[in-house]
Structures are given as structure tokens and as C-alpha cells.
Amino acid sequence: MSQYTFDVLIIGSGPAGESAAMASAKAGKRVAVIEGRSLVGGNCAHKGTIPSKSLRHMVKQIIQFKTSTLFREIGETWRLTYPRVLASANAVIPKQVELHTDFYIRNRVKLYSGFARFLDAHTVAIDLLEGAREEIVTADKVIIATGSRPYQPTDIDFNHPRIYDSDSVLDMQHTPRHLIIYGAGVIGCEYASIFSGLGVKVDLINSRDRLLSFLDDEISDALSYHLRDNGVRVRHSETYTKIEANDHGVTVYLESGKRITADAVLWCNGRSGNTDKLNLEAIGLEPDHRGNLKVNSQYQTDVENIYAVGDVVGWPSLASASFDQGRALAAIILGKECAEVSEVPTGIYTLPEISSVGKTESELTEAKVPYEVGRCLFKNTARGQISSEDVGMLKLLFHVDTGQLLGVHCFGAEAAEIVHIGQAIMSQPGEANNINFFLNTTFNYPTMAEAYRLAALDGTNRINRR
């Protein structure tokens, strides 16, 4: 019998913590999870992925309703307020909580509601949410899966009712006429799409010189074009000097000398790892300046029995990857061979949606890989025409000599789903990863998968013409 209360103790019930817990419990380990909220699901279910995607889904439906001539005939569209749309979007959260709570019950994982802090490498104190009590538990292995929260610089008054971050925007109880979004990373671009879709005037302030520079240039350019087309004022290479708010509005002062005034500001510039309440000094661990923990390829921190997964280790900070990191770590702890999560697709829920996997044109050019491009515009597919989802493109990058698929880049309706077909082929070993798959395989018709056939034809025709 082990000297510890649990074999595996996990702090945080987001995707990373949950998947590590379930995989460990299924392998017969005695597992407990400590969660600082009264409900499971992590920031993913309560503040991040789920509410923002649900909100975006509602806005997409409103746009479809407004732009469909048929629906216009049925009834006049009216302006829905942000709080009304938000209330509808939030209906998904309790469903998520129920689903995830059931996993803990079915797998007999002990759940503590309270904040965890280390006493030593094997001992954790829990400040229980109910009854203001403290409980002490011990474990052989401890996994830190405490996620992240919006980074809040100290010179900005986040208590002011006109200044929001990506957590507090989910409690906004009015509809601004004009919103400034500061920070044009993934979160900023997604919220720019949401608010502009609701008819709010949006200024999107980007400290860099292009949007989402990790994307293929053509896709990043398309995003800029469509955001602007939807009424977003995108301002590149701008940095704030101060943000002032009063009863009448909020003003962002920029280094360039500009002053932009609006009804509210949404701060989307960065996130910090949740490590400050863990009493890491007790175990000799020090997070970096963003609150993140350093781990090796086995997700192990500098303390031998303590591991970390999910947002708290930094890149890629995605729910998708967090689920897989948690599962990979459980396998590592169980002594099985398991590779670090490294190949992660991008799925960005802007309007239009963006998704990609593999190399970009710039990366291939820099690496001196001879490639060809095959494109298909969604407006040239039957499914795109039928569903009036004609904004978008699928772009395939493949090796000129071998036909090996090197990159898949997509924007437009269901891009984040469509990309998986290309991802599946790209992950095939040897010659099975080949652009010819899309020419030699019969796909359902009319579907968006047709875009693969058309893009492959476009690309291979270019080579055949040479």
C-alpha cells in the first residue's frame, strides 16, 4: 500500500487536467482532482473556448438570418442586444458541466472544490470552497494543470465598468455602439468578428504589422480584407501609452499620437499562467515572467514527481492540444512510450473561419523546398453555391517532385473541419502522403470535400503544363 493518499493528484479540471485524470483512473490509479471553481470544465468551459465559440455561433446565425432574402420575407430582422445573444450562448455551459461532471463520477475520480497550494513536493493543502476549511492530501505524482487567465497590466484599471478582458466580456450587460479591441491575436480577432457581426463599430488595434503572422500570408491577408469588409477598422503597428475611462467613454492613447475614443475597450493582449496561488516556493519551482512553467519533453518540471500540462506550460495554449497533453502525460506516468504533442492544427473561429496544418509558403521558401500550390475558391464548389457560403478558399502546398502534401490552409465556412481531411493524408507514412489521393478517391458530392479535388487538380495541372 502506498504511503500517499493518491497515486496521481491533479490541480485544475480544464481539458489538460481532466484528460490526465481520466486516463490515469482508467489504468487503475487512485486519482484526485482539485478545482478552484465550484464546477468542473476549466476556463475552457466557463470563460474561453466554449462560451466564445457559442457566442460566435449565435452571431453567425444572426448574420445568416439578416443576409438571407428568404428569411427576410418571413420576418423583419431586429437588432439583438449583446446581453440577449450572450444569455442564449451561455446555455451551453451547464450542458458542458453536466457532461464533464459525469466523467468524474463514472471513473470514480475524487473531486475537491477548492484552491490548491503546495506544502512540499508530495503534499498539497486545499482551501475548500465550502465551509472555509483546509484539507491536506498527499500524492506520489502531482500534475499542475491550472491553465491561464487574461494578462492584466497594472497601469490599466480593469475594475472600471468600461474596461473588459476576455473573461469579463462574458458578463457585459450592455451593447456598446463602438468598441476598441486592444490586441489582435487569436482572441482579439475572434471577438472583432463577433462584435462587428452584431453591428458594433470595432477598432482592432494590433501591435504587430500584420494579423496573425503565424498564418500563411494569403490567409492572413484574407482575414484583414474580410474583417475590414465587415466594418472593422484594423490598425497595425500601434502600441498604447495609456487607457483612460470615465462615465462617458474610454480613450486609448497610442504611441503614434492618435487618440481613439469608444464606449468600451476589450483588452485581448496576452495571457498569464495560473501559478501565483500555488505556493511554488515551497517546492523550489519558479515560473517565467508570464507565469508559465518550464517542462521537459515528458512534461516533467524541475521537481521529479511534479508535472505540468495545458496552458500553464505555454505553447500551444489550445484546448485541443491540452486534451492530448493530459492523455500523453498519463501514459508517461504509467511508464508507456508516448510522444510529446507537437503537430497541432490551427482553428481560428473568426468570420471567416480559418484553419491550417503544416508548412506555410514562407516557411517552405525559406527552407528551399520546391513546392507547388493548388487552390480552390469555395464559390466554385457546388456545396458553396448551394449554401451561399461562397467566401473562402482551400490551398494545398505540395512537393513539386514527390507530390507530398506539405501544408493545408483554408478559410471560409467550416474551415476548421475541412482541414482535417488534409491533415489525415499529411500524417500518412511515406508515399501514402500524396496529393494524388484527392484525385484517385471518390468523395461525396456536393460537399466541401470537393474543394480538395478541385485544389489538387489546380495544383497538378500547373505541374503538368510545365
Ligand X SMILES: NC(=O)c1ccc[n+]([C@@H]2O[C@H](COP(=O)([O-])OP(=O)(O)OC[C@H]3O[C@@H](n4cnc5c(N)ncnc54)[C@H](O)[C@@H]3O)[C@@H](O)[C@H]2O)c1
Which among 155-163, 240-248, 314-322, 376-384 is the span making contact with ligand FAD, rule CB under 6 A?
314-322
> 44 is in the binding site of which of ligand X, ligand FAD, none (Cβ under 5 to 8 A by kind)?
ligand FAD
Q: Is residue 186 a contact point for ligand X (CB under 6 A)?
A: yes
Residue with smaller CB distance to ligand FAD, 157 or 276: 276
- Provide the phi-psi class of 306: left if phi over 0, else alpha when psi is between -120 and 50, else beta: beta
Count the residues of the shown chain that bind ligand X, applying the rule CB under 6 A.
Answer: 20
Residue with smaller CB distance to ligand FAD, 114 or 384: 114
Q: Is residue 12 a contact point for ligand FAD (CB under 6 A)?
A: yes
> 11 is in the binding site of which of ligand FAD, ligand X, none (Cβ under 5 to 8 A by kind)?
ligand FAD
Q: Is residue 183 a contact point for ligand FAD (CB under 6 A)?
A: no
Angle CA 86–87–88, to nearest 5 = 90
- Smallest distance from ligand X to CB 156, Å: 12
- Smallest distance from ligand X to CB 146, Å: 15
Binds ligand FAD by CB under 6 A, chosen from 95, 106, 174, 277: 277
Quote the CA–CA distance of 236 and 241 in Å, as a whole number. Answer: 15
> 407 is in the binding site of which of ligand X, ligand FAD, none (Cβ under 5 to 8 A by kind)?
none
Q: Is residue 311 a contact point for ligand FAD (CB under 6 A)?
A: yes
- Smallest distance from ligand X to CB 186, Å: 4
> 274 is in the binding site of which of ligand X, ligand FAD, none (Cβ under 5 to 8 A by kind)?
ligand FAD
Residue list 332-351, contact with ligand X (CB under 6 A): 347-349
- Provide the phi-psi class of 138: left if phi over 0, else alpha when psi is between -120 and 50, else beta: beta
Residue pair 6/314 in contact by the 8 Å Cβ criterion: no
Quote the CA–CA distance of 193 and 223 in Å, as a whole number. Answer: 10
> 290 is in the binding site of which of ligand FAD, ligand X, none (Cβ under 5 to 8 A by kind)?
ligand X
Closest of 378, 392, 380, 396 to residue 455, by C-alpha: 396
> 269 is in the binding site of which of ligand FAD, ligand X, none (Cβ under 5 to 8 A by kind)?
ligand X
Residue pair 377/388 in contact by the 8 Å Cβ criterion: no
Residue list 120-179, contact with ligand FAD (CB under 6 A): 145-148, 166
Residue list 401-440, contact with ligand FAD (CB under 6 A): none
Residue with smaller CB distance to ligand X, 31 or 215: 215
Peptide bond between residue 287 and the one before it cis (omega within 30 degrees of 0): no
Q: Is residue 23 a contact point for ligand FAD (CB under 6 A)?
A: no
> 168 is in the binding site of which of ligand X, ligand FAD, none (Cβ under 5 to 8 A by kind)?
none
- Smallest distance from ligand X to CB 306, Å: 22
- Smallest distance from ligand X to CB 56, Å: 10
φ, ψ of residue 394 to 5 degrees: the values are -110, 135
Binding mask 307-326 for ligand X (x = CB under 6 A): ---------xxx--------
Amino acid at 462: R
Q: Is residue 185 a contact point for ligand X (CB under 6 A)?
A: yes
Residue with smaller CB distance to ligand FAD, 115 or 371: 115
Binding residues vs ligand FAD (CB under 6 A): 11-17, 34-37, 42-44, 48-49, 52-53, 115-116, 145-148, 166, 187, 274, 277-278, 310-312, 317-320, 322, 349
Binding residues vs ligand X (CB under 6 A): 151, 183, 185-188, 190, 207, 268-272, 290, 316-318, 347-349
